[in-house]
Amino acid sequence: MIDNSLPDTEMDEDRSLTGLKNKRRSRRVLVNLPVKVRGINTQGVKFEEMTHSIDVSLGGALILLKQSLTKGMGLELSLPMPPGVRKAGSSHSVYHTAAKVIRIDPGEMAGVFRIAVRFHDAHAKKYHLEVH
């Protein structure tokens, strides 16, 4: 079952060179990974959509979706863990995590949305650190 009430957490705020506040928790990595997304759209219909990431960071990802969603909705994501990313001796080839929609922007194509999600799983940090 998908939990649409994932808790918010505070973001660190740093000053960038331009003096604007940077609310990013960590550096984004531009990476096109296949992502399986499961959830319930705004019409209350369960969906499963194969898509891809635009970028991934320590705490979340930016993905493309054709589903109508709202900020705060919960999703389940499955991302591949390429052999070079896995810990030595690990046989896990897919990383599963809960995520929360934090931003929705229009995509470049009609009917496609750029969805920013925050990972909720405690292992999200471990996945990201293994990528570097």
Those residues whose C-beta lies under 8 Å from the C-beta of residue 72, and which sit 6 or more positions away, are 4, 100, 101
Q: Which residue has the higher pLDDT, 68 or 7?
A: 68
- Answer whether residue 53 is part of any domain: yes
- Answer whether residue 95 is part of any domain: yes
8 Å CB contact between 81 and 95: yes
* Residue appearing with tokens 């898509």: 51
Q: Show the tokens assigned to 67.
A: 């589903």
CA–CA distance, 61 with 63 (Å, rounded to integer): 6
Report pLDDT digits (tens) over 42-68. 999 999 999 999 998 878 899 999 999
Report pLDDT digits (tens) over 75-91. 999 988 766 555 555 66
- Answer whether residue 63 is part of any domain: yes
- Answer whether residue 68 is part of any domain: yes
The pLDDT confidence band at residue 27, using thresholds 50, 70 and 90, is: confident
CATH number at residue 123: 2.40.10.220
- Answer whether residue 25 is part of any domain: no
User: Residue 52's domain spans which residues?
Assistant: 30-131
Structural domain tally of the chain? 1
- Answer whether residue 9 is part of any domain: no
Question: What pLDDT does 89 receive?
Answer: 58
Question: What pLDDT does 29 receive?
Answer: 83
- Answer whether residue 99 is part of any domain: yes
User: Minimum mean pLDDT among 14-18, 22-26, 95-99: which range?
Assistant: 14-18
HSE-up of residue 106 (Cα within 13 Å, Cβ side):
4
CA–CA distance, 48 with 92 (Å, rounded to integer): 21
- Answer whether residue 24 is part of any domain: no
